[in-house]
Amino acid sequence: MRIMLVEDDAPLGNAVKLALHDASYAVDWVQDGESALRAIELEEYALILLDLGLPKKDGLEVLRELRKDKNKLPVIIITARDAVEDRIRGLDYGADDYLVKPFSIDELHARIRAVIRRNHGVADPVLSNNIITLNPVNREVSRNDQTFQLTAKEYALLHALMLRLGAILSREKLEESIYGWNEEVASNAIEFIIHALRKKLGKDVIKNVRGMGWMVSK
């Protein structure tokens, strides 16, 4: 999953970015509202973590412009503004969740997982097609009572496919989902990751649709 982090506090932004990387997310970090809106026009994200007190354009204005343009991109506000009125305003402007600083990284992870599930219409926190089961909490995948550990990119790619069971995702879509800015992407990177997943989980887990992309069956 690819996430945009919009946070002008450098130490906090760096800490959150590292924590999200450790949880296998690709993260693009910007530090002002105008940069956030420009990036959203150019890139595709699973979710935005949005501070409110931003330079150039306040976070609420960023959120308002997103929703004015009918952009349904999930937004979690992360802010020091803890007044009830601020929370109400943020949610009424279209935020999907509101988290007050300082916050626990574990809680942030849980809220991200919940918002992503809701956005994909998935109620169960564990993803399964009755062949393999993926647990986003510990990032483990299991098959036939055997548990497998995945690398960050293996998990990210499999997670993207399992959130859309039965849907074909192109190479471009998968690259956009698992790589952020300044990450070098080899020409055969997706094939390499899929080969590694098939070696661990079985050749039948990820299906290739010639000329279109890859899918995990329902």
At 216 the pLDDT is: 95
At 3 the pLDDT is: 96
At 184 the pLDDT is: 82
At 134 the pLDDT is: 95
CA 85 to chain centre: 28
Average pLDDT rounded to a whole number, residues 92-100: 96
At 100 the pLDDT is: 96
* pLDDT beyond 90 at 45: yes
Model's pTM, two decimal places?
A: 0.89
At 183 the pLDDT is: 84
What residue ranges define each of the domains in the chain, with the CATH number in brackets?
2-119 (3.40.50.2300), 127-215 (1.10.10.10)
At 6 the pLDDT is: 98
* pLDDT beyond 90 at 120: no
At 154 the pLDDT is: 95
Return the exposure string of 38-71: e unless at least 16 CB atoms fall within 10 Å of the residue's CB, then b. ebbeeeebbbbbbbbebeebebbbbbeebeeeee
Q: What are the tens digits of pLDDT across the range 126-150?
A: 999 999 999 999 889 999 889 998 9
